[in-house]
Chains A and B, each alone.
Chain A
Amino acid sequence: MQFPLSTKVGSISIELLNSAGAIGKLFYQTLWCFFTGKFRFRVLIEQIARIGVESQPVVILTGAFTGAVLEAQSLFQLQIVKMEAMGGAIVAVGMFRELGPAITGLMLAGRVGSAMAAEIGTMKVTEQIDALRSMNVNPIDYLVKPRVIGMLVSTPILMIESVIVGIVAAYIVGIFAFDVNEAYWVHFMTQFVTLSDIAVSIIKAFIFGLIIALISCSCGLQTENGAVGVGKSTMRAMVYASVILLIVNFIMTMILNTLFPMGFMQ
């Protein structure tokens, strides 16, 4: 008697566990390289430039439109109860606590994570990683560590940029398109945004950066079967990183809201 569904579920579960194990192992190996590896300043700067500087347009653009649409949607509802001035507070807290880190993380998973997986995957199938090892270079120290550091440095900065641009876009929409009172808008916004909101967003951005870098590098390092394998790894890196990022975001929201309650709850 065959159980195709259970077989499928079983094989997917095994694959997910294997991937989780590989990511965990890579995290440990990367951590080990922080203490025992070689510091390559040029490689690190290249990664920060590639991840941080080159990702700015897409992150700024998505941040701006997310802030703008959130403000517009909030104001459509708030107009009913004559509370338009609260639009800024909703956008700012929402952007800091949830949308800023999540949108930035998703954008980086798509833009940077997939590129990392594709680059490392191509290096794997063209024996460049074997070539590194044959020259006594630890591939994790040379390839993964700078990418992880690059993401840890860049993601919080990009996230803050995204949030600020989002708030500015919300301001423009609120003040110019909906004719909201500027003084009230700014007043409520600054009153509701606290340091704990900023702390939550930075902690989330750090964790998301780490998750994206580890998943993408792990998928790249596990690439097999030539160009087809590189395609699969790239797709897997983006899907895994995005899904795990959203799951972790929920878990972190629950935990961090206990540790850093929102302004009006304090």
Chain B
Amino acid sequence: MSDTSNIQPFIKVDQITQQFGTQKVLNGVSFEVFPGELVALIGGSGAGKSVILKHLDGLLDPLTGHIYIDGQEISNIPEKKKYPMRKKLGFMFQQGALFDSMTVFENVAFPLGEAGITDEKELEKRVMDALASVGLQGSEDKMPANISGGMIKRVAVARAIVSDPQCLLYDEPTAGLDPIVSDSVSYLIRNICINQGITTLIVTHDMSSVIHIADRIIYLKEGTIHWQGTPRDMIDSPDPMIQDFLHGVSGEDWNKLNNPKLNPDFQQNIIQDAINDRFSTQTSQPL
């Protein structure tokens, strides 16, 4: 990302805290996402990544701190006052969260119908365009129970983009997918971000995908931001925690395993391939 000092952030998170019962989930998290930027939020399980996404969409309110979407505060305000901010956001949930009783077409058309679009021709055109942009032409009559995990994620993406949001929030879009489908979903996210200029925040554990597509990476640990920087910064980071996360397991742990049947280079190779792909052409947008 170029110099952002004069640009107003699209998302601004300011010192938010959250606690569920006695468990502190977020402990003073602050970060910004600028227009058109693709930021990846990474961290271990239970670090609070998905909770942050739900705060950004106003589904949860922080105990303290503030969240601004396009300059307007979305936190701790009445539900109806969140509506204008939510119209600027598209949310892709971890398991897709498609409505089981509706077809693919009806799922994608749902936000349009609820937004008051009643002209059937316009509705159909926009739904078909959204489905085409995720490569799902011809699947509009299928039920969510009859499509694969990868297709569910694509339908969820289509549903998120059909209302033309300015920002997309993805909660683990590649979780549970095989590497090939995972790659295609990652490319899709990157393409939507570039082609439509949509600000994107993605929560993921998929480091190969992060290295491939992110402009900036934020590493969350135990409810606080431990590190942030570009994919190149991450690769070059001397921080052992970052390196462990990048390569999937700590070197110390591999040594402890000491099992010749296990290949400690496997995860390393995947990440190395991603790094080579991303940086061999010396461009930040290889897609």
Q: Which residues of A contact B (CB under 8 A)?
A: 122-123, 126-128, 130-131, 133-138
Contacts A136-B86, A138-B79 known; A130 to B93 CB distance under 8 Å? yes
B83 in contact (CB, < 8 A) = yes
Q: Which residues of B contact A128 (CB under 8 A)?
A: 97-100
Q: Is the Cβ of A127 less than 8 Å from the Cβ of B97?
A: yes
Give the interface of B toward A (CB within 8 A): 54, 57-59, 79, 82-83, 86-87, 89, 91, 93-95, 97-100, 110-111, 114-115, 163
Provide the residues of chain A in CB contact with B83, threshold 8 Å.
136
A122 to B99, CA, bound (A): 10
Report yes or no: B87 in contact with A136, Cβ–Cβ below 8 A: yes
> CA of A126 to CA of B58 in the docked complex: distance in angstroms?
18
Specify which chain A residues have a CB less than 8 angstroms from the CB of B98 in the assembled complex: 128
Are A127 and B95 touching (Cβ within 8 A)? yes
Q: CB < 8 Å: which of A127, A130, A137 contacts B114?
A: A137
Q: Return chain A residues, CB-CB under 8 Å to B93.
A: 127, 130-131
The chain A residue with its CB closest to the CB of B112 is A135
Contacts of A127 in B (CB 8 A): 93-95, 97
Q: Are A130 and B59 in contact (CB under 8 A)?
A: yes
Task: Count how many pairs of residues, one from A and one from B, have CB atoms less than 8 Å apart in the complex.
Answer: 43
B55 CB to nearest A CB, Å: 12
Interchain CB contact under 8 A, A135 and B95: no
CB contact between A135 and one of B54, B94, B110 (< 8 Å): that residue: B110
The listed residue (B59, B95, B99, B115) touching A134 by CB distance below 8 A is B59
Within the complex, what minimum Cβ distance (angstroms) separates B264 from chain A? 34
A126 to B79, CA, bound (A): 21
Q: CA separation between A126 and B145, bound complex, in Å?
A: 13
25 inter-chain pairs at a CB distance below 8 angstroms, sorted by A residue, are: A122-B100, A126-B95, A126-B97, A127-B93, A127-B95, A127-B97, A128-B99, A130-B54, A130-B59, A130-B91, A130-B93, A133-B57, A133-B58, A133-B79, A134-B86, A134-B89, A135-B86, A135-B111, A136-B82, A136-B83, A136-B86, A136-B114, A136-B115, A137-B114, A138-B79
A-B pairs, top 4 by smallest CB distance, nearest first, are A131-B97, A134-B91, A127-B97, A135-B111
- Residues on A with C-beta less than 8 A from B97 are 126-128, 130-131
Chain A residues near B94 (CB-CB < 8 A): 127
Give Cα distance in the complex from A126 to B156, angstroms: 13
A136–B81 alpha-carbon span in the complex (Å): 10
Residues of chain B within 8 A (CB-CB) of A138 are 79
A134 to B99, CA, bound (A): 13
**A133 adjacent to B59 (CB under 8 Å):** yes
- A119 smallest CB distance to B (angstroms): 8
Q: Which residue of B lies closest to A137 (CB)?
A: B114
Complex CA–CA separation, A135 to B59 (angstroms): 11
With contacts A130-B59, A135-B86 known, what are 19 further pairs, Cβ within 8 A?
Answer: A123-B99, A127-B94, A127-B95, A127-B97, A128-B97, A128-B99, A130-B97, A131-B91, A131-B93, A131-B97, A131-B99, A133-B57, A133-B58, A133-B59, A134-B86, A135-B111, A135-B114, A136-B115, A137-B114
Query: For the complex, what is the distance from the CA of A127 to the CA of B59, rounded to whole Å?
Result: 11
A131 to B93, CA, bound (A): 7
Min CB distance B78 to A, Å, is 12
In angstroms, Cα B127 to Cα A92, docked, is 56
Closest to B50 in A: A127
Report B45 CB to chain A, min CB distance, Å: 16
Closest A residue to B95 by beta carbon equals A126
Chain B residues contacting A133 (CB-CB under 8 Å) are 57-59, 79
Find chain A residues with CB under 8 A from B86 CB: 134-136
Across the interface, which residues of A come within 8 angstroms of B89, CB to CB? 134
Centre residue among B82, B87, B97 by max chain A CB count within 10 A? B97
Report the minimal beta-carbon distance from A202 to chain B, rounded to whole angstroms. 31
Inter-chain CA distance A73–B99, complex, in Å, is 49
Per the bound structure, the CA–CA distance linking A136 and B86 in Å amounts to 7
Residues of A within 8 A of B87 (CB): 136
| Chain B residue at minimum C-beta to C-beta distance from A130 | B59
| A148, chain B: closest CB distance, angstroms | 18
CA distance A128 to B95 in the complex (A): 9
Give min CB distance, B156 to chain A, whole Å.
Answer: 9
CB distance B79 to A134 under 8 Å?
A: no
| Cα of A36 to Cα of B216 in the assembled complex, Å | 43
Residues on A with C-beta less than 8 A from B95 are: 126-127
In the complex, residue of chain A having the shortest beta-carbon distance to the beta carbon of B87: A136
Closest chain A residue, CB of each to CB of B94: A127
